[in-house]
Structure 1
């Protein structure tokens, strides 16, 4: 785990390990049966390995990432533009921090992600129902950052339905590389947008067959 949420994982492991310790002398058959099947877990530190060394970013993206296909008119021109973005947004501080003074920030991990993609970290402030929400955003918006993502997700495929959105997003990206004119792939982009992200109505889970997470 790479984020401040590791605190919650450590709490869960402490509870689990304490259950084993506190019940090791139990005479209850049910408890003895449970204890015979489990072992204490090791508490590991924050993962500081390279981003592309494991599938962590895949899980983060499945939870909080977004692929977008934006179609709009160019300003002052009678031409349509198709833009692709990958966006990852998360609150600025871990919500279980003890106090305002001791809040643990997500900035470090978002900075690591931005360095990996060679992009910037953006800060966002929203007011919803009189409450302030602060977040950090990392966005892949240029060709190089998108290629970096493609390389990563080809190595560690997404698990949720966002995998389907990624495939559609990737399809348009590839069309952009082979067609210099937007008009040559505009209809395809419009068609895909009708069954994409929140508007998606068709799903297939074939990508979970022989999933790399299920391999020993």
Structure 2
């Protein structure tokens, strides 16, 4: 379940970290009403419907704010809130969410006369659990340069070089420890950068993974733990572009435009979702038309030793 923001409504306390998209815990001390909601952009409504089906309760609704459409899954029923407490207690990974959950739980203990004690948070990011998949469904990005027709650097004689670019990225406020753990799990060596959201001077931490070895580990992980929301299609296209990248072939601008159209039209298979790197007949025809001296170019980057890991679902 996506980890998100906390807000408590009180005449003396107001802590609002909600930025429209995320998870929100609310408690109104005067009415003793508690709410729990997960908000996503309307395009990711499928993820919220999956959560509703898996939990067996809650409502999915659509709303508009500042000209943008969103969807949210929410519940305010006491029995559902208590069930969520037991589901989340001791099982959150983001540091800020842990603090927010404890504050939420303490408030509920007070206004509802409960006596549920916070459990130690001993869980960590792992490639043997589905946490990273759920987190990626809500907060990660799978970038390719397909919208640029795989345009690379400009050629001195005109035109441009074709380059297949893939990038997995996560941007978080704080949470440097979690980002570092993910980075180490996939063997990435790049530094975690910092950027702003363009509206304030606050710096956010950003992890970007571009290396072939680390990307292959992520593909292996997401094969074992599939995404459930709209980013599933982004992931599918990202995997296919990575397959192009792995070939180290040179294609023409015209061929790159054809490949870009094929990637853009790539949709979830009707017979079940798989992260197949098998090429279609059209893709095979494009690569077959490459001149022989460009199918295995001598100037191709050296291939590092393939890094493999064992990923399996936890028995816990």
Q: TM-score, normalised by structure 2?
A: 0.47
CA distance in 1, matches of 2:162, 2:216: 24
Following TM superposition, by how much is the alpha carbon of 1:20 offset from its aligned partner in structure 2, in angstroms? 5.2
Q: Secondary structure at the match of 2:165?
A: strand
Any conservation in 1 of the 2:176–2:205 contact (CA below 8 Å)?
yes
Q: Secondary structure at the match of 1:51?
A: coil
Count of residues paired in the alignment: 172
Q: Does 1:107 align with 2:142?
A: no
**Residues 13-162 of structure 1 mapped to structure 2, 5 A cutoff:** 13-18=105-110, 21=113, 43-49=118-124, 51-70=126-145, 71-76=150-155, 78-92=160-174, 106-119=175-188, 120-126=190-196, 128-129=198-199, 131-162=200-231
CA spacing shift, 1:91–1:187, aligned 2, 3 Å:
same
Following TM superposition, by how much is the alpha carbon of 1:182 offset from its aligned partner in structure 2, in angstroms? 3.8
Runs of 4+ in 1 over 6 A off after TM superposition: 202-208
Following TM superposition, by how much is the alpha carbon of 1:206 offset from its aligned partner in structure 2, in angstroms? 8.5
Q: Which runs of 5+ in 1 are unaligned?
A: 23-39, 93-105, 197-201, 209-216
Following TM superposition, by how much is the alpha carbon of 1:169 offset from its aligned partner in structure 2, in angstroms? 1.2
CA distance in 2, matches of 1:125, 1:150: 26
Greater helix content:
1
CA distance in 2, matches of 1:204, 1:8: 39
Q: What RMSD in Å do the two structures reach over aligned CA positions?
A: 3.2
Q: Which runs of 5+ in 2 are unaligned?
A: 1-91, 274-316
Any conservation in 2 of the 1:122–1:137 contact (CA below 8 Å)?
yes
Q: TM-score, normalised by structure 1?
A: 0.65
